[in-house]
């Protein structure tokens, strides 16, 4: 965390890198249901899209498959009863899959997408561990989330479209969906969201921000 990010955290409890929190809050509106879901939550703090909402008391569902990142995540939110952390990955089909991770202990880059392995931008994907994969809509139902909730943030290093395929977007209608654009699946993801009545309202860095065309 550099000085600018530290000041932003101290003054606004904002852990996002480039003002993503402000963008999400503005797109969501003041009447937004106070529920946030973070798929690929990492340690719950570093460059986190969900931390600013969890710190403000929003009911939070934080999903992270990486064992070390998850350990840090549950410690981070241990005293927040409104925050639920699950050590899972999300996809279209439930099962077990290898999560590709870095050998250096970097928890910020881990992926289920084999295409993300050994590419110039992802040289870290050298080791793997088996993780549980579930459909996101099943987890939302398990924890009683409303069908129209506030924020869905997805940061899964090339696996975002599979996460979205694991929820029925005709039923579950987040006010704002944040996805990470990368080497893989960006066009499919855009087609899926457009086909379900979402429009890209803004881009910040590698993040795209989507909202329903109609309420």
Report yes or no on 175 lying in a domain: yes
131 domain residue, yes or no: no
Contact in structure between 135 and 141 (CB atoms under 8 Å): no
Residue whose pair of structure tokens reads 């403000």 in the numeric block: 56
Contacts of 114 (CB under 8 A, 6+ apart): 100
Residue 153 in any domain: the answer is: yes
- The rounded distance, in Å, linking the Cα atoms of 174 and 148 is 5
- Give the rounded percent of residues in the chain with a pLDDT score beyond 70: 86
For residue range 91-116, list pLDDT tens digits in order. 999 999 999 886 666 777 788 987 76
110 falls within a domain: no
HEC letters along 105-154:
CCCCCCECCHHHCCECCECCCCEEEEEEEECHHHHHHHCCCCCCCCEEEE
160-175 pLDDT per residue, tens: 999 999 999 999 999 9
* pTM listed for this prediction: 0.92
d(CA 176, CA 197): 12
* Residues in the chain, total: 215
pLDDT in tens, 175-206: 999 999 876 678 899 999 999 999 999 999 88
**Model pLDDT for residues 127-172, shown as the tens digit of each residue:** 889 999 999 999 999 999 999 999 999 999 889 999 999 999 999 9
CATH code for the domain of 172: 3.40.50.150
Task: Please tell me whether residue 174 adopts helix, strand or coil conformation.
Answer: coil
For residue 8, being part of any structural domain is answered with no
Instruction: Specify if 99 maps to a domain.
Output: no
In a domain, 114, yes or no: no
For residue 86, CA distances in Å to 89, 109, 116, 143 come to 9, 18, 24, 11
In a domain, 11, yes or no: no
Q: How many structural domains compose the chain?
A: 1
Q: How many angstroms separate the CA atoms of 74 and 96, rounded?
A: 22
Determine the structural domain holding residue 24 and report its residue range: 20-80+136-212
Residue 35 has pLDDT above 60, yes or no: yes
Provide the 10 A C-beta neighbour count for residue 196.
Answer: 18
Q: What residue has token string 């029925």?
A: 168
Which has the closest alpha carbon to 182: 209, 204, 157?
Answer: 157
């Amino acid at each position: 965390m550099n000085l600018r990010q530290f000041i932003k955290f101290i003054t606004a409890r904002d852990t996002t890198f480039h003002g993503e929190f402000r963008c999400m809050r503005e797109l969501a509106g003041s009447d937004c249901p106070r529920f946030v879901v973070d798929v690929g939550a990492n340690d719950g703090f570093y460059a986190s899209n969900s931390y600013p909402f969890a710190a403000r008391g929003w009911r939070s569902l934080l999903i992270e498959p990486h064992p070390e990142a998850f350990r840090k995540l549950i410690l981070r939110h241990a005293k927040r009863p409104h925050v639920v952390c699950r050590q899972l990955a999300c996809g279209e089909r439930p099962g077990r899959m290898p999560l590709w991770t870095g050998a250096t202990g970097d928890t910020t880059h881990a992926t289920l997408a084999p295409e993300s392995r050994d590419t110039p931008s992802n040289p870290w994907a050298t080791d793997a561990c088996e993780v549980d994969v579930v459909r996101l809509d099943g987890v939302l139902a398990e924890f009683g989330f409303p069908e129209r909730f506030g924020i869905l943030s997805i940061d899964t290093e090339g696996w975002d479209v599979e996460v979205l395929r694991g929820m029925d977007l005709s039923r579950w209608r987040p006010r704002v969906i944040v996805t990470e654009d990368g080497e893989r699946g960006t066009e499919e993801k855009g087609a899926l969201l457009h086909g379900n009545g979402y429009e890209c309202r803004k881009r910040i860095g590698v993040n795209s921000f989507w909202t329903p065309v109609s309420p």
